[in-house]
């Protein structure tokens, strides 16, 4: 597998703020690579460096085997789908989509043929003469996608492209993006703060936190074997038990994580299975989520969340429980994921 994008010890500072701190990673050709993290974690800065909107403060950056330092955006075989779509409001859909070909002096007949082809790819061929203002959010999103793809780039950068869409549309677009990626076979680099989005589409995910990469792995590994407390919490909202708390529970000063759905709830300690770890605490909140409900239980000054699937037991608990009621949580040792720090 050849490398499409290579970051080597890349740092980016804005004034006193270190947006990226010696970040190194590679993206392989044809891969669906996601950069996941909270806002301000450096993921968007990485994307902007790939697109050429910014130059790194230090480090080296190679795109498709060529040194990309100093290369302007228009010199890169990379196209971007922007978070706010950035469609040109004074042009219709067709002119927006064929813009990349126009500025590269492709003749009109070919320009329009390829623009129509790109619009057909996103199922918008009958909207060619509308203006961006006449389109819905989802349609604008597709136009932005078609506009970026019409240049046939080898790398497509997507900056939280689904952020402004409602949930149903977002799920539908996730499926379509994945299909498009398979069909085109080019490299997709996808920036998001939504772990569900990253997990459902990516081949590999890099989790960003405070200008550094915490872990790069495929979605299942990231979910089941998070390496750091941050990844455990951010990717699966798992309960992170730090080293000192762990010592009082298990006797070993080794931080670990347990997923919410792997924690059992007991009204009394008697029903805990032999060999399982148990913990007593007070119910602070119960949140009904539909298919299950979440209990926030305070133990040792920390909130532990547990998911309980909906049913008679769950609804009875929700009806009877009072604030601060004592309750027992338990989990099997096999569900404990040991963490680095």
Partner 1 sequence: MRTLSHFFYRQRTLTLLLMLTPPLLWFGVVYLGSLFNLLIQSVWVFDDMSMSVITEFTNTNFANLLTPANLDILTRTLAMACAVTLGCVLLGFPMAYYMAHFAGPAEKGFFYVAVMLPMWASFIVKAYAWTVLLAQGGVIYWLLNAMGLQFALQAVLALPVVGGDTLATSNLGRFVVFTYIWLPFMVLPIQAAIERVPVTLLLASGDLGARPFQTFRRVLWPLAFPGVVAGSIFTFSLTLGDYIIAQLVGPPGLYIGNMVYTLQGTIGNIPMAAAFTCVPIVLITLYLSLARRLGAFHAY
How would you classify residue 65: left for phi > 0, otherwise alpha for psi between -120 and 50, otherwise beta?
left
For residue 115, CA distances in Å to 144, 146, 174 come to: 12, 8, 23
Whether the CB-CB separation of 186 and 81 falls below 8 Å is answered with no
- Give the residue with the Cβ less far from partner 1, 80 or 209: 80
CA-CA-CA-CA dihedral for 187, 191, 196, 199, to nearest 10: 30
Say whether residue 14 binds partner 1 (CB under 8 A). no
- Give the residue with the Cβ less far from partner 1, 75 or 280: 75
CB of 118 to partner 1, least distance (A): 12
- Give the residue with the Cβ less far from partner 1, 74 or 290: 74
- Give the residue with the Cβ less far from partner 1, 116 or 227: 116
Q: Which stretch binds partner 1 (CB under 8 A): 36-44, 99-107, 163-171, 193-201?
A: 99-107
- Number of residues forming the site for partner 1 (CB under 8 A): 25
Query: Under rule CB under 8 A, which residues in 133-162 are in contact with partner 1?
Result: 133, 147-148, 151
Rounded Cα–Cα distance for residues 170 and 19 (Å): 28
Say whether residue 90 binds partner 1 (CB under 8 A). yes
Per-residue x/- track, 45-84, partner 1 (CB under 8 A): ------xxx------------------xxx---xxx-xxx
Rounded Cα–Cα distance for residues 341 and 229 (Å): 7
Whether the CB-CB separation of 123 and 172 falls below 8 Å is answered with no
Say whether residue 103 binds partner 1 (CB under 8 A). yes
- Give the residue with the Cβ less far from partner 1, 53 or 288: 53
CB of 156 to partner 1, least distance (A): 11
Q: Which two tokens stand for residue 222?
A: 């990231």
Element (H, E) at 337: strand 337-338
């Amino acid at each position: 597998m050849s490398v499409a994008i290579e970051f080597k010890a890349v740092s980016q500072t804005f004034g006193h703020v270190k947006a990226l701190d010696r970040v190194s990673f590679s993206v392989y050709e044809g891969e669906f690579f996601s950069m996941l993290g909270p806002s301000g974690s450096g993921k968007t800065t990485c994307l902007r460096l790939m697109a050429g909107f910014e130059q790194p403060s230090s480090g080296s950056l190679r795109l498709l085997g060529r040194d990309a330092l100093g290369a302007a955006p228009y010199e890169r075989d990379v196209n971007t789908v922007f978070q706010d779509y950035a469609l040109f409001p004074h042009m219709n859909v067709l002119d927006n989509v064929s813009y990349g070909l126009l500025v590269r002096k492709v003749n009109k007949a070919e320009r329009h043929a390829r623009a129509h082809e790109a619009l057909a790819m996103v199922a918008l061929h009958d909207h060619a003469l509308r203006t961006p203002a006449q389109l819905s959010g989802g349609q604008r999103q597709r136009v932005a996608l078609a506009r970026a793809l019409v240049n046939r780039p080898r790398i497509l950068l997507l900056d939280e492209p689904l952020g402004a869409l409602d949930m149903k549309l977002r799920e539908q677009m996730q499926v379509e993006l994945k299909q498009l990626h398979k069909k085109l076979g080019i490299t997709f680099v996808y920036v998001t703060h939504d772990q569900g989005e990253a997990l459902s589409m990516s081949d590999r995910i890099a989790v960003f936190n405070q200008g550094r990469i915490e872990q790069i792995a495929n979605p299942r590994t990231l979910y089941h074997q998070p390496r750091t407390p941050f990844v455990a919490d951010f990717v699966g909202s798992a309960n992170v038990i730090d080293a000192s708390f762990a010592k009082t529970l298990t006797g070993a000063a080794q931080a670990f994580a347990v997923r919410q759905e792997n924690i059992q709830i007991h009204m009394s300690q008697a029903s805990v299975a032999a060999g399982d770890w148990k913990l007593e605490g007070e119910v602070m909140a119960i949140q009904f989520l539909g298919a299950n409900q979440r209990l926030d239980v305070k133990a040792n000054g920390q909130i532990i969340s547990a998911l309980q699937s909906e049913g008679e037991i769950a609804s009875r608990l929700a009806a009877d429980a009072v604030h601060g009621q004592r309750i027992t949580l338990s989990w099997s040792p096999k569900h404990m994921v040991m963490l680095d720090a």
